Structure 1
Amino acid sequence: MARRPVAVRRAITFIDDHAHEDISAADIAATARTTIRAVQHAFRRHLGTTPMEYLRQARLQHAHQELLAADPTTGATVTEIAARWGFFHPGRFAHHYRTAYGCPPYDWQRGGPTTVAGDSRTSPAQGPRHNYLVRLRGGSTRPEL
């Protein structure tokens, strides 16, 4: 595997260290010591994504870890945790979370999703998953989109 360019490494480090802050593509480019267009091109070429998408995924991962560690009896809410990580629209957060982890974010505060027999998912900490069958409240199953 080819080594990533220094600008990409700088940008990744900056994003990982400052994901909780309000940062822009210009901030990322300045840290990488390059232009916005150049850092976008480098991310697409070496990571297959954009700097802002990488930032969103980093924030989503932090929010996910915080949800796993949250104690609902203390009054922590999905909305508060999402907002802390820069997701101010609950519906968009829920969409991104469901796409990445295969269930709505509030499922983890209820002890995790109910899965279909034979589904090998054992822990949300295993990482993003797509297209699994999830048991609905009525007992039927459907594929997640």
Structure 2
Amino acid sequence: MGNRGSEGLVQPKAHRPEAWSPGSVRGAGPLARHSRLATASVDEFCGQASKLLTAHRIRRADAVDASPFRGQVRAVQIADLQLIYLEQGVNVQVDIRDPIDYYDLMLAVSGTNELVSDRGESTQITRLHGALLSPRRRAQMRMDATYRQLHVRIERHALERRLEDLIGPVSSSPVIFDLPVDLESPRLATWMSSLRLLLSDLDQDNGMTAHPLAAASWQDLLITGLLLAQPSNFTAALHDCDPPKAHRRLLREALDYCEQRVAEPVTVGEIARHVGASVRSLQRAFQDDLGISPTNYLQSLRLARVRQDLLTADSSSPDSVTEVALRWGFVHLSRFAAAYRRRYGEAPSDTRSRARERN
């Protein structure tokens, strides 16, 4: 079992960092520098939480409890992720009124939350177990007075784009994760270590996460880790995927397609659709193996075909340089001539003249 920090989230066995960043007030919980609201009003708290997540109804679970409501809302945006911290200080009943259109990972900083989804699934959110609500789901929750919660909101389009990067095009059906999240499993313990590091950086004055490029990297790390660590309807596809083998297949099929369509006005998007990959995955495969983009590869193929025709032409050949270039898919003749000269060190007309003299 992993160790636990002072604020409750699971630590991996090998290392026990501070629960939150040194700059935050001990016991204040995560995102101490990112406060949005501190209120004694249930309605005000509910309104702010609903803006950050989805429409909620919040009411006291114990009608005779006279304890003051102590609402805290903190939030920060990281690319297409949001981290949202909430606490209320009293026992509450929460109803998610509308099906959500994002992924909501719920973690307990302290206390307990009893959750029941609209599909009849139930789970308890504690320091050792979270819950992951997928799109088109609703839930009811009963939170005790000590419950302090951290939500990791992931936009559906961001998660699906990352999944496509990993395994290629997917169906229009959403990724549906298992609701219970076992934070003691090895992969999720590692994932939690990454989240803790992010939270620590966010509570620094000039943390790296403030840079947009770093934010995008954090997003990819957390989404990829969640896809690999938390069971879903795409788990088998993710774990059966052999990246090197898939990479080679993708490139081989793309090269074959380019050879077959070299004279046609083929776009990178068409090549990607043919091989069943995203444009970004296709571009990465070309760059990794060939050191050039698909567009530049196609241009090289066409230039080679033009040069072959020019070199084999004899004095009786009726085709002009322009006709040969058009035959192999070049439309902008000035760009063609410049590209040909860069590639072969001479003008295409010079190649043709030399070939006719020789042949």
Whether these two folds match at TM > 0.5 is yes
Superposed CA deviations along residues 64-117 of structure 1, whole A, max 9, x for unmatched, are 1111122354331101111111112221111111111110000122116xxxxx
Structure 2 partner of 1:51? 294
- Pick one of 15, 21, 24 that aligns with 2:258: 15
Structure 1 partner of 2:330? 87
Q: Which has the larger radius of gyration?
A: 2
Mapped contact 1:7–1:34 kept (Cα < 8 A): yes
Alignment of 1:39-78 (within 5 A): 39-78=282-321
Percent of aligned pairs with the same residue?
35
Structure 1 residue 24: deviation in Å? Answer: 1.0
Q: Which runs of 4+ in 1 moved over 6 A?
A: none
Structure with the bigger RCO (C-alpha within 8 Å, sep 6+) is 1
1:98 aligns with 2:341: yes
Mapped contact 1:72–1:109 kept (Cα < 8 A): no
Paired residue type of 1:54: Y
CA distance in 1, matches of 2:296, 2:351: 24
Q: TM-score normalized by structure 2? A: 0.29
Paired residue type of 2:259: D
Structure 1 residue 45: deviation in Å? Answer: 1.2
More helix by share: 1
Mapped contact 1:67–1:108 kept (Cα < 8 A): yes
Secondary structure of the residue aligned to 2:354 is coil
Paired residue type of 1:23: V
CA distance in 2, matches of 1:46, 1:74: 38
CA distance in 2, matches of 1:96, 1:21: 18
Structure 1 partner of 2:146? none
Paired residue type of 1:106: S
Structure 1 residue 30: deviation in Å? Answer: 1.5
Mapped contact 1:98–1:105 kept (Cα < 8 A): yes
CA distance in 2, matches of 1:74, 1:45: 41
- Pick one of 24, 29, 32 that aligns with 2:275: 32
CA distance in 1, matches of 2:304, 2:249: 24
Secondary structure of the residue aligned to 1:74 is coil
CA distance in 2, matches of 1:63, 1:102: 14
CA distance in 2, matches of 1:47, 1:12: 11
CA distance in 1, matches of 2:331, 2:265: 12
Alignment of 1:112-131 (within 5 A): none
CA distance in 1, matches of 2:275, 2:290: 15
More strand by share: 2
Structure 2 unmatched ranges of 5 or more: 1-243
CA change 1:6–1:75 in 2 (3 A) is same
Structure 1 unmatched ranges of 5 or more: 113-145
Secondary structure of the residue aligned to 2:288 is helix
Structure 1 residue 40: deviation in Å? Answer: 0.6
Structure 1 residue 19: deviation in Å? Answer: 0.3
